[in-house]
């Protein structure tokens, strides 16, 4: 294992690592600054990154704190009817072009793509101010078409953020990995319910664990992020590089809390093992598999895998005080977060278009595989367990599919890592009242004023906005907001 440092910021461990996967201050608030779409952002290399949050744009003024409106209040005031009732096709372009304006549908409804754009503009601006964000980008898609986009704030000091800005997409790639697994199953390369011993014979309990257990996180391999030696090492040096073997060594050195298939626990380590299984079964690297089955078919040109901290330009810079000091965390090494080949950077358009296609409309999978991806089969399964903070009983409001978080009728991922927070929230067409999929993608960064206390678990402000928008866009099937 990597050496364990002697001095770490123990009090901030929870927010730095243990809440990366799940988004659970008045000073220094900055005004919003709308960015022009397609304007190039900053691509400063490591070492050249400028420190600090976004500066205030000239001639812009903040609303006095006592009069700031909450996101919920603004959204409620912005729309009193279902805004998607008359949305027609948008551009369908994920690269950052402005959405097309539609005309009212027959029957006299005045709710159009313009109304959705207005809702997003109003809600995003309110969230940006209320949460003192450094940047915010968002995109809404309906039935595959872009209907609204926005970009607020700065990618780095002095550079407005743009819709093609690159950030870390984190757990979004978990859904890509499970999609690869399902495609390999369709081709007869793996059996979801066959013990993984065939592919990783030396792994502990591989004769009792299946690919399905790994994908739905019931395999029971302890999450390496809960190993205190691992936590100490990352908090002391967030630039450390980890291999799959390093991560599994930490996992296997952590006490197992339940036998395979006996409970549920969010485990990055399950996906590290699943990545190794897919590679062994196919003879290809996980990076190649994700490109073959996900990135290339969906033309996700802005999504790149890299085990180093590199981010292609235009870079969206992240800042955080999770280690007790305000610092640029853009180039913290994310190699511990997912298996090699699935650690990625992306754009808001790629995140939205991929979830719309995979989750919203089942484009990449056969009918049975698509159903399995978003099947709430685990509802009623699992139970709280001492020593396992994430162990709980699955409910209709929150359960887990195959690499997908299931929240009511919606499906989502909520990456949270080193100053980056994002959310992608999709209502599949099969769950929508009008049969049209809705996808909302939001990504944000912070200023020092975003939280009063950086030492506690940090709430995902991107997810907060996405859930509020989902409730307005689909009032008949709103996403639960309790988790």
Which tens digits make up the pLDDT trace of 242-255? Answer: 999 999 999 999 99
**In which residue are the tokens 């292609």 written?**
312
List the domains of the chain with CATH numbers.
Answer: 10-47+65-473 (3.40.710.10)
CA distance 304 to 287: 9
Radius of gyration of the chain measured on its C-alpha atoms: 21
Quote the percentage of the chain above a pLDDT of 70.
76
* pLDDT tens for each residue of 130-151: 999 999 999 999 999 999 999 9
CB 78, CB 114: distance < 8 Å:
no
How does 128-143 read in b/e, with b if 16+ C-beta sit within 10 Å? bbbbbbbbbbbbbbbb
Burial class (CB in 10 A: 0-12, 13-18, 19+), 183: buried
Do residues 227 and 249 touch, judged by C-beta distance below 8 A?
Answer: no
Confidence band of 106 (pLDDT split at 50, 70, 90):
very low
Q: What is the pTM of this model?
A: 0.82
Q: How far apart (Å, rounded) are the C-alpha atoms in residues 406 and 425?
A: 10
Q: Any idea which of 84-98, 355-369, 416-430, 438-452 has the lowest mean pLDDT?
A: 84-98
Q: What is the pLDDT of residue 75?
A: 45
Residue 446 token pair: 């912070």
Distance of CA 130 to the CA centre of its chain: 21
- pLDDT at position 215 over 70: yes
Taken as a whole, the chain contains a residue count of 483
Helix (H) or strand (E) holding 277: helix 268-282
Segment (H or E) for 160: strand 159-160
Strands 405-407, 410-413: pairing is antiparallel
Give the contacts of 262 (CB within 8 A, at least 6 positions apart).
218, 220
Cα first-last separation, the chain: 34
Which neighbouring-strand residues pair with 312?
none
Give the CA diameter of the chain: 70
Q: What's the pLDDT at 39?
A: 33
At 56, the pLDDT band (50, 70, 90 cuts) reads: very low
Tokens of residue 481, six digits: 């907001």
Q: Report the candidate in 171, 165, 337 with the shortest Cα–Cα distance to residue 238.
A: 337
**Picking from 13-22, 158-167, 386-395, which range would have the lowest pLDDT averaged per residue?**
13-22
What values do phi and psi take at 467, rounded to 5? -65, -40
């Amino acid at each position: 294992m990597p050496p364990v440092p002697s001095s770490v910021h123990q009090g901030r461990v929870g927010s730095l690592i243990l809440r990366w996967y799940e988004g659970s201050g008045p000073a220094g608030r900055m005004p919003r600054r709308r960015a022009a779409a397609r304007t190039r952002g900053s691509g400063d290399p490591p070492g050249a990154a400028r420190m600090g949050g976004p500066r205030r744009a000239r001639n812009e003024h903040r609303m006095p704190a006592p009069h700031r409106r909450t996101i919920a209040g603004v959204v409620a005031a912005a729309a009193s009817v279902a805004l998607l009732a008359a949305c027609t096709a948008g551009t369908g372009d994920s690269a950052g072009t402005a959405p097309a304006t539609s005309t009212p549908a027959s029957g006299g409804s005045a709710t159009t793509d313009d109304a959705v754009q207005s809702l997003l503009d109003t809600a995003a601006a309110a969230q940006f101010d209320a949460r003192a964000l450094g940047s915010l980008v968002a995109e809404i898609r309906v039935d595959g078409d872009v209907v609204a986009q926005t970009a607020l704030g700065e990618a780095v000091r002095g550079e407005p953020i743009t819709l093609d800005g690159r950030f870390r997409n984190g757990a979004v790639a978990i859904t890509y990995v499970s999609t690869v697994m399902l495609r390999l199953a369709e081709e007869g390369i793996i059996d979801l319910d066959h013990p993984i011993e065939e592919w990783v014979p030396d792994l502990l309990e591989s004769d009792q664990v299946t690919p399905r257990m790994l994908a739905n996180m019931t395999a029971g391999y302890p999450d390496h992020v809960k190993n205190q030696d691992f936590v100490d090492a990352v908090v002391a040096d967030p630039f450390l590089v980890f291999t799959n073997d390093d991560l599994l060594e930490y996992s296997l050195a952590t006490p197992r809390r339940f036998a395979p298939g006996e409970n549920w626990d969010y485990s990055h380590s399950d996906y590290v093992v699943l990545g190794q299984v897919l590679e062994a079964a196919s003879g290809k690297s996980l990076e190649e598999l994700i490109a073959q089955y996900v990135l290339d078919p969906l033309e996700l040109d802005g999504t790149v895998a890299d085990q180093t901290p590199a981010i292609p330009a235009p870079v969206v810079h992240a800042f955080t005080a999770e280690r007790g000091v305000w610092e640029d965390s853009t180039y913290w090494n994310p190699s511990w977060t997912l298996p090699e080949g699935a650690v990625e950077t992306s754009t808001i358009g790629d995140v939205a278009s991929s979830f719309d296609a995979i989750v919203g409309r089942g484009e990449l999978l056969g009918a049975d595989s698509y159903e399995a991806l978003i099947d709430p089969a685990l509802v009623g399964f699992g139970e709280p367990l001492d020593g396992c903070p994430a162990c709980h009983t699955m409910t209709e409001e929150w359960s887990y599919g195959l690499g997908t978080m299931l929240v009511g009728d919606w499906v989502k991922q909520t990456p949270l890592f080193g100053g980056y927070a994002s959310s992608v929230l999709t209502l599949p067409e099969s769950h929508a009242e009008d049969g049209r999929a809705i996808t909302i993608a939001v990504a944000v960064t912070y200023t020092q004023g975003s939280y009063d206390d950086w030492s506690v678990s940090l709430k995902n402000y991107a997810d907060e906005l996405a859930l509020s928008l989902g409730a307005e866009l689909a009032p008949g099937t709103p996403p639960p907001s309790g988790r």
